[in-house]
């Protein structure tokens, strides 16, 4: 590699290095080694061939010097042709080894990326819902992309670069000292003129690059928020597009200015570096020519020294910036390990069992619960704040006890923030209780396998979330092995088959981000179809119709009645008219069950439920066409 190319690499890595220079302990290094262990054999070959390739870079200048001596000595042609053939052979060998080393490097690097990404992805999937409610999605995705790739560089680039450059440096310096220690010392004296500008310019470009990164991130955030369906709607309604455009243009203009500054700084450095390189070669050839004319060196040695000069400065410059590159790669590992060190609060027991066969009951037994604090579920860097919120969360549930018998429906009603949705989230173990127990089929959910809980329980939430995939893919999330007939059957039972059949691509229609190509009622019926395909024993409905108009609500209620038939159900509803036929209604206030009974009993009691009922219907609510219940 030429001196200029090496300096450019140094600048690039300085520009993109992490500012964080935290210390690293042996346990961290051992964890890094654990990821490298599966690639140990390939890594060994990679390092060995890197050393051989580095050694070959010194051979060509020596052979070139021999060729010059053979020509100026006026000897036979055969030695010149032989040496030329050796130079060609060395070049061919370098090329072949370069390809092999690159293949090994790519295999190790991409393999490490695969290992790290899958490990982090699997770990994140086990995190509680509280983790995702606090975490900035962009920061988390960055850990799976930028930091994982940065960690990969520790093996594929930094390690081989340090080993190869060190071998090249030692061999080159030894040969140069052997050929002419005077010229070698002169080359070392000029080294600061080559290394110092690269380091200083790299630091300056790093500051410029960080500023550009900030503005690019701001533009990316603006585009992500404004280009989503809800964001675009909000801008059209309230955002004043002219102001949005002006703000984006201001940031883009700043990025343009930074780009011009970066180009000029790089060009100035390149010109200065070229001058330093030419000056160094001029001094070497000047001193070497003097020695050659005085008979102290031959012409071939002067040529060899000139060629070896590039082999000396290039690795020295690279090694001068190696510490920054190593620290940058290690910081990336550390940031990945930060995520892996967050222990999921909800974990499967080692001796976990399955839900007992047969009809399944749901039971809450003196349940207390408070949402976990930030330090237990999140990182400041993932929330993009300097420090985590240390405030203790208030207790949400206080001694909640009730039982839903198999095949029966129990409804939870009450004021907003009373704790109804929290109760629903404890059944599928989105969180674990602080005290008491939640049981499925008489078994504490903490003693059940995750797969068993998922197979037993289905949930429909208020937002009816769908992935940006086809209708088929969204349905098959519940049961991947389901056939075509089964898909159309659940669509029919969810009262949405006519809609899907009318679409040009049918089941293969892409639903759009979060399903926004469909209305709220249509999205909700698709999620109900997905629930029907899963065929769970227990169903939880969390405000499944609260955001729908009367027409959509009637259609969704009909689909829900199908979904609840013969199943144990826990229904949370804002509209009290939708739960009047439930087997039991529980009124929740301030995390406590303050009333329980049937619709008729609670109205006759004239308590909190009757108050909510009168208030709601005084505001204009009407009875729906269909209500939950058997």
> Looking at the predicted structure, is the pLDDT value of residue 403 above 90?
yes
DSSP designation for 7: H
Q: What is the mean pLDDT of the chain?
A: 79
- pLDDT the model gives residue 436: 94
Quote the CA–CA distance of 345 and 128 in Å, as a whole number: 7
Residues 460, 313 share a domain: no
Residues 190, 86 share a domain: yes
- Segments forming the whole domain that contains residue 465: 362-379+391-618
Question: Within a domain: residue 159?
Answer: yes
Three-class DSSP category at 440: strand
- Check: CB of residue 505 under 8 Å from CB of residue 525: no
Please report, rounded to a whole number, the percentage of residues in the chain having pLDDT higher than 90: 12
Question: Within a domain: residue 354?
Answer: no
Q: Where does the pLDDT of residue 24 fall: very low under 50, low under 70, confident under 90, or very high at 90 and above? A: low
- pLDDT the model gives residue 625: 43
> Looking at the predicted structure, is the pLDDT value of residue 4 above 60?
no
Residues 544, 489 share a domain: yes
- pLDDT the model gives residue 630: 46
Quote the CA–CA distance of 42 and 60 in Å, as a whole number: 28
Residues 367, 310 share a domain: no
**The domain spanning residue 83 has which CATH number?**
1.20.1560.10
Extract the tokens encoding 491. 């669509």
Overall number of domains in the chain:
2
Question: Within a domain: residue 623?
Answer: no
Distance of CA 27 to the CA centre of its chain: 24
- Check: CB of residue 563 under 8 Å from CB of residue 531: yes
pLDDT digits (tens, 9 = 90+) for 226-275: 776 667 766 766 666 777 788 788 888 888 888 888 778 777 766 776 77
pLDDT digits (tens, 9 = 90+) for 499-540: 889 988 888 988 877 677 787 778 888 888 888 888 888 988
Q: How many DSSP H helices and E strands does the chain contain?
A: 25, 10
Residues 304, 435 share a domain: no
pLDDT digits (tens, 9 = 90+) for 29-46: 788 788 888 888 888 888
Q: Where does the pLDDT of residue 76 fall: very low under 50, low under 70, confident under 90, or very high at 90 and above? A: confident
- pLDDT the model gives residue 369: 93
**Phi/psi at 621 (nearest 5 deg)?**
-65, 145
- pLDDT the model gives residue 404: 93
Mean pLDDT of 163-176: 83
Q: Poorest-confidence range of 152-156, 220-224, 591-595?
A: 152-156
Three-class DSSP category at 479: coil
- pLDDT the model gives residue 488: 92
- Check: CB of residue 378 under 8 Å from CB of residue 341: no
Q: Where does the pLDDT of residue 58 fall: very low under 50, low under 70, confident under 90, or very high at 90 and above? A: confident
Q: Where does the pLDDT of residue 624 fall: very low under 50, low under 70, confident under 90, or very high at 90 and above? A: very low
CA-closest candidate to residue 187, choices 93, 85, 316 = 316
- Check: CB of residue 420 under 8 Å from CB of residue 397: no
> Looking at the predicted structure, is the pLDDT value of residue 555 above 70?
no
Q: Poorest-confidence range of 118-127, 211-220, 450-459, 561-570?
A: 211-220
> Looking at the predicted structure, is the pLDDT value of residue 594 above 90?
yes
Quote the CA–CA distance of 176 and 179 in Å, as a whole number: 5
Q: Is the pTM of this model over 0.75?
A: no
Three-class DSSP category at 180: coil
CA-closest candidate to residue 552, choices 580, 528, 579 = 528
Residues 451, 305 share a domain: no
DSSP-assigned beta bridge partners for residue 402: 364
H or E element in which residue 82 lies: helix 77-125
Please report, rounded to a whole number, the percentage of residues in the chain having pLDDT higher than 70: 78
Q: Where does the pLDDT of residue 626 fall: very low under 50, low under 70, confident under 90, or very high at 90 and above? A: very low
Quote the CA–CA distance of 21 and 7 in Å, as a whole number: 22
**The domain spanning residue 543 has which CATH number?**
3.40.50.300
Question: Within a domain: residue 20?
Answer: no
Three-class DSSP category at 85: helix
Residues of the chain by 3-state class (helix, strand, coil), percent to 5: 65, 10, 25
> Looking at the predicted structure, is the pLDDT value of residue 154 above 60?
yes
Question: Within a domain: residue 356?
Answer: no
DSSP designation for 393: P
Residues 237, 99 share a domain: yes
């Amino acid at each position: 590699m030429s001196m200029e190319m090496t300096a450019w690499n140094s600048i690039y890595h300085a520009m993109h290095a992490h500012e964080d220079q935290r210390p690293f302990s042996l346990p961290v290094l051992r964890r890094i080694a654990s990821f490298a262990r599966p690639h140990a054999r390939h890594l060994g070959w990679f390092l060995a061939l890197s050393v051989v390739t580095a050694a070959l870079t010194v051979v060509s200048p020596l052979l070139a010097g021999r060729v010059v001596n053979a020509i100026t000595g006026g000897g036979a042609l055969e030695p010149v042709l032989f040496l030329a053939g050796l130079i060609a052979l060395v070049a061919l060998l370098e090329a072949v080894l370069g390809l092999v080393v690159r293949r090994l490097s790519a295999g190790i690097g991409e393999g490490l990326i695969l290992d790290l990404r899958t490990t982090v992805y699997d770990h994140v999937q086990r995190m509680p819902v509280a983790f995702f409610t606090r975490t900035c999605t962009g920061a988390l995705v960055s850990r799976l992309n930028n930091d994982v790739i940065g960690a990969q560089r520790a093996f594929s680039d930094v390690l081989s670069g340090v080993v190869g450059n060190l071998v090249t440096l030692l061999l080159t310096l030894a040969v140069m000292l052997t050929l002419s220690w005077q010229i070698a010392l002169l080359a070392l004296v000029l080294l600061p003129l080559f290394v110092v500008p690269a380091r200083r310019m790299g630091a300056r470009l790093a500051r410029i690059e960080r500023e550009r990164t900030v503005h690019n991130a701001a533009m990316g955030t603006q585009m992500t928020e404004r280009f989503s369906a809800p964001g675009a709607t909000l801008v059209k309604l309230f955002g004043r597009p002219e102001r949005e455009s002006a703000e984006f243009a201001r940031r883009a203009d700043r990025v343009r200015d930074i780009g011009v500054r970066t180009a000029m700084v790089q060009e100035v450095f390149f010109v200065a570096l070229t001058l330093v390189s030419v000056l160094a070669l001029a001094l070497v050839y000047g001193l070497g020519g003097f020695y050659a004319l005085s008979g102290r060196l031959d012409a071939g040695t002067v040529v060899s020294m000139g060629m070896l000069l590039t082999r000396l400065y290039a690795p020295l410059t690279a090694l001068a910036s190696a510490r920054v590159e190593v620290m940058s790669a290690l910081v990336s590992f550390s940031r990945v390990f930060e995520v892996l060190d967050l222990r999921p609060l909800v974990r499967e027991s080692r001796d976990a069992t399955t839900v007992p066969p047969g009809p399944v009951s749901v039971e809450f037994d003196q349940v207390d619960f408070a949402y976990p604090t930030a330090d237990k579920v999140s990182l400041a860097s993932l929330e993009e704040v300097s420090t985590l919120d240390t405030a203790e969360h208030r207790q949400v549930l206080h001694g909640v006890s009730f039982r839903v018998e198999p095949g029966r429906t129990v409804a939870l009603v009450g004021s907003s923030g009373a704790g109804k949705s929290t109760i629903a989230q404890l059944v599928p173990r989105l969180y674990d209780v602080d005290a008491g127990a939640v049981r499925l089929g008489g078994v504490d959910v903490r003693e059940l396998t995750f797969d068993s809980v998922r197979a037993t329980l289905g949930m429909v939430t208020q937002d009816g979330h769908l992935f940006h995939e086809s209708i088929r893919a969204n349905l098959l999330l519940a049961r991947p092995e389901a056939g075509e007939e089964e898909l159309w059957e659940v669509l029919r039972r969810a009262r949405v088959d006519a809609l899907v059949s009318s679409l040009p691509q049918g089941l293969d229609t892409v639903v759009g981000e979060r399903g926004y190509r469909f209305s709220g009622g249509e999205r909700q019926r698709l999620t109900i179809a997905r629930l029907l395909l899963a065929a769970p024993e227990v169903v939880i409905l969390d405000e499944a119709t609260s955001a729908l108009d009367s027409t959509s609500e009637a259609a969704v209620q009909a689909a829900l009645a199908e979904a609840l038939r013969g199943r144990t159900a826990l229904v949370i509803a804002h509209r009290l008219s939708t739960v009047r036929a439930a087997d039991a209604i529980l009124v929740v206030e301030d995390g406590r069950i303050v009333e329980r009974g049937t619709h008729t009993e609670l109205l006759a009691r004239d308590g909190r439920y009757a108050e909510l009922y009168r208030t709601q219907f005084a505001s204009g609510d009407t009875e729906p066409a269909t209500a939950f219940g058997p």
